[in-house]
Amino acid sequence: MSEDPTRRDLLGKVARGTVLAALGGAAGFLVKKAHGQIVWQVDVSRCINSRLGETAAEACNLCTTECVVALSAVRAVNEYFKCGRCNICPAYFNITSAVNEQGQPSEKLCPRDAIARKPIGKVDPEDPANNFYEYIIDEEKCDGCGKCVMKCKEPLGLGSITLRIRYDRCVNCNACAISLACPHNALVQLPIDQALQPAEVKRPG
Amino acid sequence: MNGAPQIGGRAWPLAAILVPLILALGAVRSAPAQAIPYQRPVETAPQPDAIGGGYKVPPVQKPLPRDYWLQVLDVVALAAAMGVSVWLVLRRRNRKWLMALTIGSLAYFGFYRQGCICPIGSLQNVVVGLADPRYSIPIVVTATFFLPLAVALFYGRAFCGGVCALGAIQELVVLKPVQVPRRLDRALGLLKYVYLGLAVLFAVKPALARDFLICRFDPFVGFFRRTGAPHMLMIGGAFLVAGMFVGRPYCRYLCPYGGLLTWCARLARRGVTITPDKELDCGLCAEACPYGAIEEMRAVRRKCLYCARCYSACPRDGERAHAKTELIRLSGAAPS
């Protein structure tokens, strides 16, 4: 307290300047090596629901249960250009359910009824089995439980449905809660442009 | 063709799944349940020319992350809120409007932005960005981290009052705060440096062992997102209940970013002041301060959380005093 006020001011100024310079330096360093956005994405070659050779009866639903946002940021996406557009889709129907009068399985597979089916192209009403069908997933309804993903792959399907991340919902946690829970380390961080590419399941090894 | 044996090979696992399922279903249901002997009808996806009828492949929905300009806007909002906080507290000395700012910040940074991104958590990303040559962070995160520190260097912890969502939710539950004994307060205050050290230690680990403790043990983010692990919601609730009687316990004793702000605020050029030439030594301000930031009738910048309670409690300053002088002015009498 006995210090000369002007000297105190000067010391304060020097200290403030030093800290400010240090902060500025650190910020400059970080800005210099800054990149675009890095986001989480599902590595579909690791995800047990889409990985080839996995035919477990129950799909893994950790993406639904572990995500920190209320309706999981993970949902199933049908890459339409890869879809077989089958009459009896193993991801749309529960193909182990009883057959109804139309010759279709009587139950749907999706527990949230998020998949819509409609005939497309040149429709022959006499021959429904040989028409093509479009399967559109309502991504607002889907919670990423993975049931359809597990069915739409060899040997039953073509593997057009995979789990992907909705970036309007994902809060991009530092440590994604699903990634911590996933037993196959299927959640990876990628630059945004890579993460938006269509999913491609690569054969392991 | 060598396709045939492959298909035969594929059918095996299918049969292995279907047969027991069908048997199980048959056993449960009395109705004649019959499964479709499913065979994949196509080997490759039919394309528009095969489908015919002018069919077009629909585009796949790809919801994009928040636009970049909106992220920049968040940083601008952060800077603006701190500016308003400084102006309201240092210039206007007004608690009422500061409360409005607090509620606004809680609504936007807390409930709307769901607690992300925040300067407190960005601390870890900054540490990793500095330590790991292969890790880098977006510029908005860098700005989010450094802005409140720079402000603290000049004006004290303006970020803590009225801007920080974690602080705001605690600020609003302060009900009947007790004065924590000075020694206990100081000892507990050291906890935040321990937490800061741990957070840095876990963040600089190699990529796979890395952990973000501050985010993982954020007690209030579960409320902001209206969902969360039950144990963290319970801890958050406990903090809020404790916060009714001990002002802002997380900010004072645990917040690692608060530890950094404390050091910057020590060097601050300006801050909340108890004006010496007006004061009565009545001690009402010290009693009103839930954070023990008024020692010997002086505001301590490293502890002051910019809540402006001292002003509103002051008989010679703040809203009450202004109302009084206004009343005197209107009544035409000369102010005493």
Residue-wise pLDDT tens digits, B156-197:
999 999 999 999 999 999 999 999 999 999 999 999 999 999
The more confident residue out of B41 and B246 is B246
Which residues have a Cβ under 8 Å from the Cβ of B22 and sit 6 or more positions away?
A96, B33, B35
Residues above pLDDT 70, as percent of chain A: 97
Which stretch, A92-96, A188-192, B86-90, B115-119, has highest mean pLDDT?
B86-90
- Shared domain for A6 and A42, answered yes or no, is no
* B30 touches A at CB < 8 Å: no
Same domain, A30 and A45: no
For residue A83 the two structure tokens come to 């879809």
DSSP, collapsed to helix, strand or coil, labels residue B110 as helix
Question: Using 50, 70 and 90 to split pLDDT, how confident is the model at A87?
Answer: confident
Q: What is the ipTM of this complex?
A: 0.74
Give pLDDT, residue A27. Answer: 95
With a CB cutoff of 8 Å and minimum separation 6, the contacts of B31 are: A98
A54, A93: one domain? yes
CA–CA separation, A174 vs A176, rounded Å?
6
For residue A97, being part of any structural domain is answered with yes
For residue A127, give its domain range.
38-195
Whether residue A19 is contained in a domain is answered as yes
Partner-chain residue, chosen from B45, B116, B124, that has the shortest CB–CB distance to A83: B45
Do residues A51 and A17 share a domain?
Answer: no
Report whether pLDDT(A149) > 70.
yes
**Per-residue confidence (pLDDT) for residue B28, from 0 to 100:** 45
- The answer to whether residues A1 and A59 belong to one domain is no
**B132-157 confidence digits (pLDDT tens):** 888 888 899 999 999 999 999 999 99
Check pLDDT > 80 for residue A2: no
B28 Ramachandran zone, left/alpha/beta (phi>0; psi -120 to 50): alpha
**Partner-chain contact B65 A120, CB within 8 Å:** no
| Rounded Cα gap, residues B194 and B255, in angstroms | 10
Which chain A residues touch B66 with a CB distance below 8 Å? 167-168
Cis peptide bond N-terminal to A155, omega within 30? yes
The per-residue pLDDT for B27 is 46
Average confidence (pLDDT) over A75-81: 92
Residue type at B299 in one-letter notation:
A
Token duo for residue A159: 């593997």
The answer to whether A183 and A72 are in contact (CB under 8 A) is no
Are A69 and A25 in the same domain?
Answer: no
Are residues A12 and A111 located together in one domain of the fold?
A: no
Res B20: pLDDT: 55
Name the token pair of B183. Answer: 């020694």
CA distance B326 to chain A (A): 36
Quick count: other Cβ atoms within 10 Å of Cβ A144?
27
Beta strands in chain A (DSSP E): 38-42, 74-78, 115-120, 132-137, 161-165, 187-191
The total domain count for chain A is 2
A152–chain B nearest CA distance, Å: 10
Whether residues A88 and A136 fall in one domain: yes
User: Does some domain include residue A200?
Assistant: no
Mutate to test the interface with A, among B267, B298, B301 (most CBs of A within 10 A): B267
Chain B residue with minimal CA distance to A94? Answer: B35
pLDDT of residue A49: 93
Whether B22 has its CB under 8 Å from any CB of chain A: the answer is yes
Q: Which residues of B touch A24 (CB under 8 A)?
A: 146
Residue range B302-324, pLDDT digits in tens: 999 999 999 888 887 766 667 77
Give the pLDDT confidence score for residue B219 in this predicted structure.
Answer: 95
**What confidence category does residue A205 fall into, taking pLDDT thresholds of 50, 70 and 90?**
low
Distance, in Å, from the CA atom of B93 to the CA atom of B95, rounded to the nearest integer, reads 7
Residues A92 and A114 in one domain: yes
- Show me where the domains of chain B are located: 68-219+227-273
pLDDT, chain A, mean? 88
Using the structure block, give the residue that is written with the tokens 């077009």: B56
pLDDT digits over B254-291, tens only? Answer: 999 999 999 999 999 888 888 777 777 888 889 999 99
Q: Under a CB-based contact definition with an 8 Å cutoff, are residues A97 and A107 in contact? A: yes
Pick the residue from chain A with its C-alpha nearest to B216: A175
Please tell me if residue B231 touches chain A, with a CB cutoff of 8 Å. Answer: no
Q: What is the mean pLDDT of chain B?
A: 85
Res B330: pLDDT:
76
* Residue of chain B with shortest Cα separation from A74: B63
Do A24 and A105 share a domain, yes or no? no
Please judge whether B13 and A55 are an interchain contact, meaning their C-beta atoms are less than 8 angstroms apart.
yes
| Mean pLDDT of the region A195-204 | 83
Q: Dig out the tokens for B268 from the structure.
A: 């601050």
Q: What is the model's pTM? A: 0.79
